[in-house]
Amino acid sequence: MERTFVMIKPDGVARGLTGKIVARFEAKGFTLVRAQLMQVSVELAEKHYAHLKEKPFFGELVDYIISGPVFAMELSATNAIQNARSLIGATNPVNAAAGTIRGDFATDVASNVIHGSDSEESVQIELTNFFGSL
């Protein structure tokens, strides 16, 4: 079993999509290990998106992720990282296939409803950043 970090972003929580999204992961075969509804601080947001610091949309991205509570999750499954990315869909909802979370619930890359870690290294960093422990 592998674990991954997934976060429903503020627009997903505000639109009442949390239950539907968690159900999709459970239906696929993921186990929910830990979860918390939490407010992201500016410091955590800047750390989480540090790799995008030079992008023109960085400020907007930080403002968005702190705009309301997020639902942070640790999920476990076989090939959890890749399976979660497949369920989530392409970064830009325009390119996200129907049946994926972004394909079904989002239209705009700047508010694309959900985050999923992209590597074992980012899982470790993100679980630590969001839950305070591995």
Question: Which chain residues interact with ligand DAT by CB under 6 A?
Answer: 52, 57, 61, 91, 109-110, 112, 115, 118
Alpha-carbon torsion angle 4, 5, 9, 15, nearest 10: 60
Residue span 105-134 as binding mask against Mg ion, x where in contact by CB under 5 A, dash where not: -------------x----------------
Q: Binding partner of residue 111 among Mg ion, ligand DAT, none, CB under 5 to 8 Å per kind? A: none
Looking at 14-53, which runs of residues are DSSP E strands? 31-38
112 annotated ligand-binding residue: yes
Q: How near is the Cβ of 133 to ligand DAT at its closest, in Å?
A: 23
3 annotated ligand-binding residue: no
Report, as residue numbers or ranges, the catalytic residues.
Answer: 115
Q: How near is the Cβ of 31 to Mg ion at its closest, in Å?
A: 23
**How do strand 70-77 and strand 2-8 relate by DSSP bridges?**
antiparallel
Closer to Mg ion at the Cβ: 23 or 119?
119
Across 72-111, b (16+ Cβ under 10 Å) vs e yields bbbbebeebbebbbebbbeeebeebeeebbbbbbbeeeeb
Q: Binding partner of residue 47 among ligand DAT, Mg ion, none, CB under 5 to 8 Å per kind? A: none
Annotated binding site for ATP: 9, 57, 85, 91, 102, 112
